[in-house]
Amino acid sequence: MTLILNSMEIKECVQFNAELIPIIEDAFKSLSLGKTVMPPILRVDIEKYHGESDVKAAYIEGLDSFAVKVASGFFNNPKLGLPSSNGLMILLDSQTGVIKSVLLDKGYLTDVRTAIAGAIASKYLSNPESSTVAIIGTGIQARMQLEALTLVRDIKNVNVWSRDIKKTHAYIEDVNKNNKLNFTAFDNTNEVVNNADILITTTPSKKPLVDYSSLPKGIHITAMGSDAEEKNELEPDIIKNCDVYVPDSQAQTSILGELNHAIKNNLIKSDMIFNDLGKIIINPELGRKNNDDITVADLTGTGVQDTAIARYAYSIAINKNLGKKVE
C-alpha cells in the first residue's frame, strides 16, 4: 500500500517551526558519524530555460525508510507567474524497497529543510547576540531563511540587496507585513554587509557578489545558493581567509559549493579536511572560537535532510489519517 500526499496535506503535516530543528540536526549528525549511504547528486541542466533538476537520496542506518527526491529550480519562472522551485519526494521501505509514500510537495519540503539548515548553521556559528542580518536575494529562500533565522536569533534589523531594486522594495513590503523588523534596501552588495552580524546569500549567481574586504569582524555567512559547479556567490578569498569554514557535506561542496571555487583558484588544497556541520552540532567547540571570528557555512543541500523531513511528514500524515492509499 502506497500513501499519496498532495501539497496541501503535506503543509498541514509540516509546520515551519522550531520542532524541525532537532530533526534536521539529527540528519546532519548521522552524516558526520558515517551512518549514512548518500550517493552523489544527479543533476540535469536546462540552460535554455535557466533551469535545473536534481535527484538526491540517502539511507540513514537503522531507519525503516529512506527518501529519493527530485527537485527543480527554474529561475525564469517568476516572470511567468510560477514559483521557481518544484519537486516531489518518494519514501521507500529500507528492507524491501517498496514505495511507502509519494509526497507531491511541489518543492515545499525542500524549501523548508533548506531554510532550517540555514537556521542550524546560524545557531551554532553566529554570535549569540546577533541582531542584524544581511540578505542577498529576494526569492523564496530569502523569505524562508529569514523566517527560520528568527527561530534561533533575536533579529531586529534586515538589510536586503537584489539585482532589481524594485524587487528589493517589493520583498521588504511583503515580508514586513508579518514581521516587526527594521528593513533597509541596499543597491551595493558590499555595503549591505557593513554592519551585519549574519549574511545569508540565496541567489543562483555565477559571479561572486561579496568581497572579503567588505566583511566586518565577527560576521557569520550562510551561503546556500551555490549548489552547482558554475554557481558562485562568495569571493573565493572569503573561504581562504575566514576563521571557520563549515560544509554541509565536503564531498559536495568541493564539487558544487563555494569551496569548489577556492580549490579551483588554488586558494585551498583539494585534500584539506574541514569539520562539517554535523561535527559542529555534535561538538560546538569545533566552530566559532571568539566574537571576532568570521565563519562560513557552505550549504549545498543533502539527501539526509530529505530523508529526515520526508519521514517526518509521512509519520504525521499517518497519525492524522491524511492522504490517499493506493495499491
The correct answer on CATH 3.30.1780.10 for the domain covering 2-110+304-326 is yes
Query: Which part of the chain has CATH 3.30.1780.10?
Result: 2-110+304-326
Which CATH number is 124-301 given?
3.40.50.720
pLDDT value at residue 129: 98
Query: Which part of the chain has CATH 3.40.50.720?
Result: 124-301
Q: For the whole model, what pTM was predicted?
A: 0.94
Cα three-residue angle 218-131-262, rounded to 5 degrees: 40
Task: Report the residue count for the chain.
Answer: 327
**CA-CA distances (angstroms) from residue 139 to 3, 231, 278?**
31, 16, 27
pLDDT in tens, 243-255: 999 999 999 999 9
**CA-CA distances (angstroms) from residue 77 to 11, 72, 80, 196, 306?**
22, 11, 5, 31, 24
**CA-CA distances (angstroms) from residue 9 to 2, 14, 294, 324?**
15, 9, 41, 10
Please provide the distance, in angstroms rounded to a whole number, between the alpha carbons at the two ends of the chain.
5
pLDDT in tens, 52-65: 999 999 999 999 99
pLDDT(226) > 90:
no
For the chain, give the mean pLDDT: 96
Measured over the CA atoms of residue 156, residue 150, residue 105 and residue 33, the dihedral's sign is positive
Backbone dihedral region for residue 231 (phi beyond 0: left; psi -120 to 50: alpha; all else: beta): beta
